[in-house]
Amino acid sequence: MEVVDVDLSDRTYPIYIGSGLLDKPELLQKHVKGKNVLVVTNTTVAPLYLEKVVGLLKANGSKINVESVILPDGEKYKDMGTLMKVFDKAVETRMDRRCTFVALGGGVIGDMCGFAAAAFLRGVNFIQIPTTLMAQVDSSVGGKTGVNHPLGKNLIGAFYQPQCVVIDTDTLSTLPERELCSGIAEVVKYGLIRDAKFFEWQEENMDKLLARDPDALAYAIKRSCENKAEVVSLDEKEAGLRATLNLGHTFGHAIETGIGYGGWLHGEAVAAGTVMAADLSFRLGWIDASLQSRILNLLKRAKVPVAPPSTMTIEKFQNIMAVDKKVVDGDLRLILLKGELGNCVFTSAYDTKALEETLHSFCPS
């Protein structure tokens, strides 16, 4: 087992990474503060792992009372109406201020459970058990929680850190290939924005990741978590540095919102958004053609989209991006690549004509 710490002073917490962690009851139990636990999961994950996690919490004669709520699966259910089901169950089962919420699932479940924990009784403990590669390398770490609004993704939420993150890499054995590829798109991001050696490792090991080689996946998860933990430790609430983790996300979130939540997986939209961000960076003269080509080739090998769907018009992109969380005083700030591999900037100081050219090159008129 590997342990990566997210250093937040008195709120520092561990990320446990390894095989067979859902067979270690003491790992989970030591992070449960009170006697009541609410496990939040979905209709896909519940048949696979809910019974096992409930058994872990109750193992070795523990006196933990475990309740569960099973939500519908999918990004289209990441909304206030579905969130209320978590609050309903918490109130009905008399969860108290010492209770712990456990997020068992992918990014949607982690985001919603975390937001519910932040709001219920003005804040209760929660634990992340991510079961998708996307959640393991990105969304379960760092305390971003929330739900979508019909006009924009993740516009309602809170920064709220978990007690711990338990990543059992064995859960990836049940992950559909499309979900695996979606998660790899987020792995690629870390190499582009801050870890050139990691990007080069991915170029050498992409086939192993797609083949679910255990050692390759474990390394990719660990290195991604190390990168994210370091960034979150330096900038928990996204004053600047943490925003760089959103490379490709402004375009990607626009795609998800524009085609309807759940039409594309998050990583698929981010992959296309990353190619668009690289295109804009090249048009600005900030990266060279060879780096742009390497990005495109690696994402193609990862079997994710490298362009938005044909239904995304220029007008759709512009309207949705105008309400992006990174807009300040009317200026859209973007994460763009600049310089050698592993370097980026978070800025509104770019030529908007270049942005228009990028949109024109990817979208129907």
Q: Which residues are catalytic?
A: 122, 144, 186, 228, 238, 242, 246, 249, 253, 266
Residue 75 DSSP one-character state: G
The single-letter DSSP state of residue 286 is S
CA–CA separation, 155 vs 171, rounded Å?
29
Q: Where are the alpha helices (DSSP H) in the chain?
A: 25-29, 51-58, 80-92, 107-119, 133-134, 177-194, 196-210, 214-234, 249-259, 266-283, 289-301, 314-321, 352-362
Largest Cα span, the chain: 65
Q: Are 100 and 146 in contact (CB under 8 A)?
A: no
Region of residue 159 (left: phi > 0; alpha: psi -120 to 50; beta: else): beta
Give the list of residues 6+ apart from residue 54 with CB closer than 8 angstroms, or none. 39, 66, 68
* Cβ–Cβ < 8 Å for 95, 124: yes
Please, what is the end-to-end C-alpha distance for the chain in angstroms? 52
**Inter-residue contact 49 to 198 (CB < 8 Å):** no
Sorted by sequence, the CB contacts under 8 Å of residue 329 that are 6+ apart come out as none
Q: Is the dihedral of CA 92, 94, 96, 98 positive or negative?
A: negative
